[in-house]
Amino acid sequence: MTSAARIAMVLALGALSVPAGAQTLLGVTQDWSAYQATTPDGKVCYVLSKPTAILPAKASRDPIYFVVSVWPGRNAQGELEVFSGYTYKAGVPVFAQVGTVRAEFFTRNDGKVGTAWVKDAADEGALVAAMRGGAKLVVTGVSKRGTKTTDTYSLSGFSAAMDSARAACSK
């Protein structure tokens, strides 16, 4: 799947309220892609990646992504979002960890799409900082059926992609 197809799929899933064709690829740096888009709420820039390892490997899932959005004037570090590729078990949190830095995420299911966001906004800055200096991000969650999943993302290229997104949204 091409980068453009991936972002179109993520947008179709509702990651951002962006009309089709209203996003621009800023660049790809190793395992992360940076984009700029225009939404009804204004300009947004974001980076996304897909996992390099998925457990259990044979679980049936839709595409999986980790997204960090930067909205001018709205957030300093970025808003973190997980697309699990399945619907979540109600009331069970998702966790994302880089080294010793761990953040809890709350979940929301919309039809067959499960997404998760950081529960405490104060944790976003710490996790983004850890992602800039870390090698891997590990996200764990539990599906509606009770399957525990572990998705591992490479952080190669994350800092450069974030820098590109921040620069594009600071103009």
The predicted structure's pLDDT at residue 7: 43
102-144 residue pLDDT tens: 999 999 998 888 999 999 988 999 999 999 999 999 999 999 9
Q: Are 165 and 47 in contact (CB under 8 A)?
A: yes
Residue positions counted in the chain: 171
- Angle between helix 122-133 and 158-169 (nearest 10): 130
Domains and CATH numbers, the chain: 3-169 (2.60.40.1880)
Please provide the average confidence, as pLDDT, over all residues in the chain.
86
Radius of gyration of the chain (CA): 15
DSSP H or E stretch at residue 169: helix 158-169
What are the structure tokens assigned to 99, written together?
A: 């080294």
Q: Which of 77, 170, 86 is nearest to 128 (CA)?
A: 77
pLDDT band at 21 (very low <50, low <70, confident <90, very high): low
The predicted structure's pLDDT at residue 40: 80
61-92 residue pLDDT tens: 999 999 999 988 776 678 999 999 999 999 99
Q: Is residue 168 predicted with pLDDT exceeding 50? A: yes
